Amino acid sequence: MKPVNPSNDASQGIEDLRKEIDAIDEEMVYLLGKRQDQVSQIVALKRAHGIPVYHPAREENLISSRRDQARKTGLDPDYIEDLYRLILRQSRVKQTAHMARKGIRPGANVLLIGGKGSMGKYFHRWFDEAGYNVRILSRNDWHLVDELCSKIDLAIISVPIDVTTEVAGKLGPHLPNDCILADITSIKGPPLKAMLQAHEGPVIGLHPLFGPTTSTMDKQIIVVTPGRNQSACQWLIDQFGAWGSIIIQAEASEHDEIMGMVQALRHFATFAFGQFLHEKGADLHRTLEFSSPIYRLELVMVGRLFAQDSSLYSEIIFSSQKRRRLLKDYVKSLSNNLAMLEEGDKELFQSEFKKVADWFAPFSEQAMRESSYLIDKLIERF
């Protein structure tokens, strides 16, 4: 009798298991396809009733349920969460693509002032694909302003911040009384005031917190600042919701104060870091060889800033005296640390560190969780 070759038995066993795994993989793809069919039916219902794509509570409940199921099955809950967030995002993107062709008021006339700029072109595409009649008023078209404004339902000002108030005043007298007048600048106080003075009809301020390179509006934030006759502006807000955007309501004063921190201070601090690296002649590629993932992430954000148009950031940073005062306070705050550095005062550093750490404490757990997630993803990528 011939002796049994263990290696042959192992090979056959592995082959049999691989076939079972392949069958399971095929079943998983089939089930994902079946899931997508159900999503398509939901899309049809949402389109018919103008229901927003993104439902945060539903998604978080689903993630929590799948994490619980993973624990009971002996799987890593984080692994299952990552998998389902990818599935859910793909589902939202597909829904958004369908909803982009769903107009809340199809056939309405939309005028984009500055429509040949990058954001103007971006919104032109979205409104056009949703069935709106889109017109453009560029700087050389003012002799046609009456014709372009005739019977329009919505006028969106998409021009640089420093000329927005001037354009609003120039445009207002030509608008129909029931036309919505909106702007998309990153500062809201002065533009909103100018629009209210120039136009007696519905007025609303908008600030899309994304740029023209964004491929989808899925979960992209749009801040809405009320001006006049909010009910008449609701269809425009609903349209952004149908496209997948998250709508945040804020008064103009609150918006401008928060964006001073979120945009102006952050961009200026990033600019100053990049400027310092340049002055020191740092070898960026060499530093990356020695870098931790968090340094790479920080450097990537600096590089991202300097890969874009400087005029965009100068408009944001220098848009108001209040923002410039904030940034001067920031620079002064940095200079206050000179004595600590000159004296090598570790105790003072630790004391200041503890004060700030205590202030950050309510946010610390979330910060650690989110930054760890980003670092892990960066490690996977590089």
Domains of the chain, with CATH numbers? 15-99 (1.20.59.10), 109-250 (3.40.50.720), 255-381 (1.10.3660.10)
pLDDT grade, residue 273 (50/70/90)? very high
Q: Report pLDDT for 99.
A: 55
| Residues 3-15, mean pLDDT to the nearest whole number | 72
Is the pLDDT confidence value at 178 over 70? Answer: yes
Confidence label for 231 from pLDDT (cuts 50, 70 and 90): very high
From the list 327, 332, 298, the residue with the least C-alpha distance to 314 is 327
101: pLDDT confidence band, cut at 50, 70 and 90?
low
Tell me, what's the pLDDT at 64? Answer: 85
Q: How confident is the model at residue 39, as a pLDDT?
A: 80
Distance in angstroms (rounded) separating the CA atoms of residues 240 and 222: 8
Residue 47: pLDDT over 70: no
3-state helix, strand, coil in the chain (%, to 5): 65, 10, 25
pLDDT tens-digit readout, 132-156: 999 999 999 999 999 999 999 999 9
| Predicted confidence (pLDDT) at residue 353 exceeds the cutoff of 60 | yes
* Residue range 250-268: mean pLDDT, rounded: 94
H/E element, 19: helix 6-49
What whole-number distance in Å separates Cα of residue 64 and Cα of residue 328?
A: 45
Per-residue buried b or exposed e for 343-381, using 16+ beta carbons within 10 Å of the residue's own CB = eeeeeeeeeeeeeeeeeeeeeeeeeeeeeeeeeeeeeee
Name the amino acid, one letter, at 95: Q
Residue of higher predicted confidence among 101 and 105: 105
Residues 67, 79: Cα–Cα separation, whole Å: 9
Res 213 pLDDT > 90: no
- Decide: helix, strand or coil at residue 21: helix
Cα 223 vs. chain centroid, distance in angstroms? 11
Average pLDDT, whole number, for the chain? 88
pLDDT value at residue 191: 95
